[in-house]
Amino acid sequence: MHASSEPVTLPHPGKLLLIEPLDYPNPYDFHAPHRHDYFEIILVKSGNGNQIIDFSPYEVTENKLFTVYPGQVHLMNRNNAQGLLIQFRKNLFDFIYPLRHHQLYFSQPEFVLSQKQFDMLYNLTENILELVQTEQLTPLSIHKAYSYLEVILITLIELHDNKVEGEYNNLALQFLSLVTQHIKTQKKVADYCELLNCNTAKLNTVCKNSLGKTPLVIIHEEIILEIRRLLLLNELSLKEIAYELNFDSQANFSNFIKSNTGMTPSELQENILRIYK
């Protein structure tokens, strides 16, 4: 199965926020693995299906919500699932301060909600849909739509992370966001400490307490994840992928994969392609 190496872009360039039914006619081949350049929230009201988000399988059933952030590999088989999709660009966060896009980089994209929780979020999404379908939105109506979305996002953030609060949690989230954005060029803990304006000891403590892993382990996991994405999505040779990710030699690239997965690059690619057959 082949997929485009280019990320799927959000339709209607002039809009920062779109609401679509779950079964809307996608402007791209959603039957093939793909990745977006925008955030997507999937609310499943009824029916069933299945999907894969970054190589992890999830069952699609009623009262579930899923989040997909820019760059993640996504493939959904809707079956008879019905619901709504919220799609929005990263620059929408300029209008919903103090939320920041890095707060949506959840470790788990699946939310199993109570009926009350789901109904509340779904009703807010329907409110946004009613507004964005208006041909000429007033500035206040646009602000209202963004405010509804902000309530949805705050609710998800609260549901996802209620263990670690304050500065430590914020620093860990910023680190995760930076890793996902700069993994092709920045592979040292010191690089991220410079970006975050903190020392390695503090970042190490924060990551261990908030995420249960050292910063270096998180960086290595993200490199492997990006390698897997490139093996699946691009028609690049292993040498080209090594170059794309700034490894100084193909031998070091192969050794890195072997030490982190126990597989050669070719074995890893075969394993990935089996997942998406």
The per-residue pLDDT for 156 is: 93
Which has the closest alpha carbon to 221: 107, 104, 57, 109? 107
> 166-275: same fold as 17-160?
no
Q: Which amino acid is at 138?
A: T
CA–CA distance, 181 with 81 (Å, rounded to integer): 32
Q: Which helix (H) or strand (E) covers residue 110, if one does?
A: strand 110-112
Which class in CATH covers the domain with range 17-160? mainly beta
Q: Which amino acid is at 158?
A: E
Q: What is the mean pLDDT of each run of 10 residues along the chain (277 residues)?
A: 56 78 72 81 94 90 93 86 92 82 81 95 96 86 93 91 55 86 92 94 87 88 88 81 91 94 89 70
Third-level CATH fold of 166-275: Arc Repressor Mutant, subunit A (1.10.10)
Q: Write out the E strands in 26-109.
A: 34-35, 39-46, 48-53, 56-61, 64-68, 73-77, 82-88
The per-residue pLDDT for 163 is: 44
The per-residue pLDDT for 2 is: 46
The per-residue pLDDT for 7 is: 65
Q: Per residue in 77-113, pLDDT tens? A: 888 999 999 999 888 887 887 887 777 877 789 999 9
- Domain range list for the chain: 17-160, 166-275
Q: Phi-psi category of 54—alpha, beta or left, where left has phi over 0 and alpha has psi -120 to 50?
A: left
The per-residue pLDDT for 30 is: 62
